[in-house]
Amino acid sequence: MIERFTSTILKEEREKLEAEYASLLSQYSWEAQKYEEELKKKAKEELKRYEQELQEWLQEKLTEKKHQCEKELAEKKKAMAQKVKEEILALFRKKAKKDVEKIAKQAEEAIIPKTGFGIKYRPKGKKYYISALADEIIDEHPEYIYAEM
The predicted structure's pLDDT at residue 127? 46
12-63 residue pLDDT tens: 888 988 888 888 888 888 888 899 999 999 999 999 999 999 999 999 999 9
- pLDDT band with cut points at 50, 70 and 90 for residue 120: very low
The CB-side HSE value for 16 (13 A sphere, CA atoms) comes to: 6
Under 8 Å CB-to-CB from 138, ≥6 apart: which residues? 93, 96, 97, 100, 144, 145
From residue 71, give the alpha-carbon distance in Å to each of 18, 60, 67, 79, 82: 77, 16, 6, 12, 16
Instruction: Note if the pTM is more than 0.75.
Output: no
